[in-house]
Amino acid sequence: MTTPFLEAKQIGVWYRSGSQVVNALRSVNLTINEGDFVCLVGPSGCGKTTLLHLIAGFLQPSKGDVLLKGRRIGGPGSDRAVVMQHPTLMPWMTVYQNVEIGPRTRGVSVPERRETVEHYLKLVGLSEFAQRHPYELSGGMQQRVAVARALANDSQVVLMDEPFGALDALTRETMQLELLRIWSLTGKTIIFVTHDVEEAVACGTRVIVMTPRPGRIVMDRPVEFSRSLLTDKRSMTSLRAVKSTSAFVAVREELMGSILGSADPPSPLASGVH
Amino acid sequence: MSAVLPSIATTTDDDPGVEARMLQHYAGSRNWTISLASVVVGLCIWQAVTAFGILSPALLPSISQVFHAGLMVATEGFQGVTLLDDVAISLLRVGGGFLMAVLVGVPLGLWIGTSRFVESVLDPYIQFLRPLPPLGYYTLLIVWFGIGDTSKVVLLFLTGLPIIVVSSAAGVRSVDRDLLLATSSLGLKGFKLFRFVVFPSCLPAILTGMRLALGATFGSLVAAELIAAESGLGWLILTASNYVRTSIVFAGIIVIGVIALVLDHGVVLIGRKLVPWAGKA
């Protein structure tokens, strides 16, 4: 049996909040294949960001292990780049320097990292803005820089925590298409947290539904619309068209039902108290 | 204006000038022409009060008397010390004390900001020193270091130190947590994380601390020179007032004010050069 690419085994996370112990994740098992585009959806408090932070190494599980290629994740590392909800760029650096920081830190030679940076800036369509500073760009452009920065580090996994959550609807859909294009060109494994089910169904190859109190996985479903979006002309109209097909709506509603169904009936105190 | 709309709507939404005026008020710069006119009016009033002899020159000398007193101190000197010497000595004391405060305070503040242990150890001293009026312990410094320059430089160092420490430490604590997480996921850690992320993040706070500290040290210096000195701008004012040479006192105060303005503006300019992103991110 081969070692899975990314594996979460019997994950439990508890933390203390005042006098209460909150159970953020309970018995989470997850296996992710290389090249997957996995979307984690669920209402706030369902532990999707906690799970992402475990994979990033920002957090250690209270119970269980997260393994990347069979090795336990003990902390943040350059093999798992994170894109936050906000761009988190370094305002004192130019766009170019921001994207360069990963390879620069790893000691990649100047000509080699110039090639990398230029490649990824081109990929996100910001070549002309290389010498600008982040505060000269719009929010959507800044987020594209953050994506380029994560990709330029040649990490195996890109973890995205509601990266388009702060963008307006139009920019958001443009970014969804951009991300799909980049994903298909780079073949990276993407783990994408969102609370927008439609976004998850459109972009992912797999959608994982989580529910809160305690956070756990209630559904794990393959979806195939991202592939068809890529073979299409990848225009906004085709994205709109796909999103309004009955097949798409059916999957979206099935997932919505799973989120709503598991949230009912409400169990206010049966929650995290352990 | 439509009569159908409620009046609130007509005064806000329909008037494009409101937003522009608010921006002007909160984000716009002040009108320099008005400021300049205000200063000119102030000088005119001063001139009028002295010209009509409302107050005796011992209380309020005229502008020309102050100007000539300044010129006299600058060229011939007062009690054997020229104005330039006083300025140079005062600036050297400020420079020495301030520089020491920066050199010690910034690393100390950054260290306190990064380590809870160091913070717990040093915080009581910093918090005690910070609100303590520097002149309160100046006599003690004179006993320890003599009446000369050393005691003054130490005084200014102690005046500036807690201000710079506190703001540098606050700078570290206000570093964007998500930025730290995102950059650590790019492989930055230890010194590289500090050099590329933490330290630049702290720069605006450090510069604010330096600006406050410079103002405080300059204030302490003049006060210290008023208490015990044989030279310097504070000494000049005190000695002149002892001889009721009010015009020299005025000239000295104006020189002190101008120097303080120039120093403050200098730090602001350095700040703009070093942290052009401040307030824009």
Q: Is there a single domain that holds both residue B120 and residue B38? A: no
Distance from CA of B182 to the nearest CA of A (A): 5
Q: How far apart are CA B174 and CA B172, in angstroms?
A: 5
pLDDT of residue B11: 43
* DSSP states along chain B: --SSS-HHHHHTTT-HHHHHHHHHHHTSPP-HHHHHHHHHHHHHHHHHHHHTTSS-TTTS--HHHHHHHHHHHHHT-BTTB-HHHHHHHHHHHHHHHHHHHHHHHHHHHHHHHH-HHHHHHHHHHHHHHTTS-HHHHHHHHHHHH-SSHHHHHHHHHHHHHHHHHHHHHHHHHTS-HHHHHHHHTTT--HHHHIIIIIHHHHHHHHHHHHHHHHHHHHHHHHHHHHHS-SSSHHHHHHHHHHTT-HHHHHHHHHHHHHHHHHHHHHHHHHHHHH-TTTTT-
From chain B, pick out residues whose CB is under 8 angstroms from the CB of A80.
185
* Residue A148 within any structural domain of the chain: no
Q: Is there a single domain that holds both residue B53 and residue B75? A: no
Pairing of β A189-193 and β A157-161: parallel
Q: Is A223 exposed, middle or buried (0-12, 13-18, 19+ CB in 10 A)?
A: buried
Does position A265 have pLDDT exceeding 60, yes or no?
no
* Residue B280 within any structural domain of the chain: no
pLDDT of residue A233: 61
* Residue B279 within any structural domain of the chain: no
Q: Is there a single domain that holds both residue B128 and residue B48? A: no
Does position A270 have pLDDT exceeding 50, yes or no?
no
Residues B176, A90: C-beta atoms closer than 8 Å: no
pLDDT of residue B187: 83
| Three-state DSSP state, A18 | coil
pLDDT of residue B163: 94
From chain A, pick out residues whose CB is under 8 angstroms from the CB of B281.
91, 134-135
* Residue B51 within any structural domain of the chain: yes
pTM, to two decimals: 0.79
Express each pLDDT in B202-252 by its tens digit.
999 999 999 999 999 988 988 888 887 788 888 889 998 888 888 889 999
pLDDT band at A273 (very low <50, low <70, confident <90, very high): very low
* Residue A189 within any structural domain of the chain: yes
* Domain final residue pick, B60, B77, B96: B60
Express each pLDDT in B111-123 by its tens digit.
999 888 999 999 9
Q: List the single range of A78-82, A112-116, A209-213, B276-280 with lowest mean pLDDT.
A: B276-280
* Residues pairing with B101 in the sheet: none
CB B210 within 8 A of CB B164: yes
pLDDT of residue B10: 42
* Residue B87 within any structural domain of the chain: yes
ipTM (interface predicted TM): 0.82
CATH number at residue B184: 1.10.3720.10
* Residue B1 within any structural domain of the chain: no
Who has greater pLDDT, B168 or A177? B168
From chain A, pick out residues whose CB is under 8 angstroms from the CB of B196.
90, 101, 105
From chain A, pick out residues whose CB is under 8 angstroms from the CB of B188.
101, 105
Q: Is there a single domain that holds both residue B55 and residue B68? A: no
Q: List the single range of A36-50, A114-128, A260-274, B79-93 with lowest mean pLDDT.
A: A260-274
Cβ of A83: how many Cβ atoms within 10 Å? 26
Domain containing B173 equals 64-274
Q: How far apart are CA B83 and CA B74, in angstroms?
A: 5
* Residue A193 within any structural domain of the chain: yes
Q: Is there a single domain that holds both residue B28 and residue B167? A: no
From chain B, pick out residues whose CB is under 8 angstroms from the CB of A146.
182
* Residue B120 within any structural domain of the chain: yes
* Residue B116 within any structural domain of the chain: yes
pLDDT band at A74 (very low <50, low <70, confident <90, very high): confident
What mean pLDDT value characterizes chain A?
Answer: 82
Q: Is there a single domain that holds both residue B17 and residue B84? A: no
Who has greater pLDDT, B167 or A15? B167
Q: Is there a single domain that holds both residue B46 and residue B182? A: no
Domain count, chain B: 2
* Residue A1 within any structural domain of the chain: no
Q: Is there a single domain that holds both residue B234 and residue B99? A: yes
pLDDT of residue A264: 52
Shortest CB distance from A76 goes to which of B185, B196, B280? B185
Chain A, nearest residue to B272 by Cα: A92
- Which residues in B have their CB inside 8 Å of a CB on A? 176, 178-179, 181-189, 192, 196-197, 200, 203, 275-277, 280-281
Q: How far apart are CA B267 and CA B256, in angstroms?
A: 17
Does position A228 have pLDDT exceeding 80, yes or no?
no
Q: Is there a single domain that holds both residue B261 and residue B228? A: yes
pLDDT of residue A232: 58
pLDDT band at A152 (very low <50, low <70, confident <90, very high): confident
Q: Is there a single domain that holds both residue B218 and residue B80? A: yes
CB B251 within 8 A of CB B63: no
Residues B280, A159: C-beta atoms closer than 8 Å: no
Chain B, nearest residue to A102 by Cα: B186
Provide mean pLDDT across the span A67-79.
83
* Residue A181 within any structural domain of the chain: yes
Q: Is there a single domain that holds both residue B97 and residue B118? A: yes
* Residues pairing with A82 in the sheet: A159
* Residue A106 within any structural domain of the chain: no
* Residue B52 within any structural domain of the chain: yes
Domain count, chain A: 1
Distance from CA of B208 to the nearest CA of A (A): 17
Q: How far apart are CA B144 and CA B246, in angstroms?
A: 34
CATH number at residue A258: 3.40.50.300
Pairing of β A157-161 and β A80-83: parallel
* Residue A212 within any structural domain of the chain: yes
* Residue A63 within any structural domain of the chain: yes
Distance from CA of A57 to the nearest CA of B (A): 8
User: Per-block average pLDDT, block size 10, for chain B (281 residues)?
Assistant: 44 56 65 90 90 82 88 83 87 92 95 91 91 88 88 92 94 90 87 90 92 91 84 89 88 91 91 80 54
In this complex, how many residue pairs, one in chain A and one in chain B, have their CB atoms less than 8 Å apart? Answer: 73
pLDDT of residue B207: 92
Provide mean pLDDT across the span A2-22.
82
Q: Is there a single domain that holds both residue B19 and residue B89? A: no
Residues B181, A56: C-beta atoms closer than 8 Å: yes
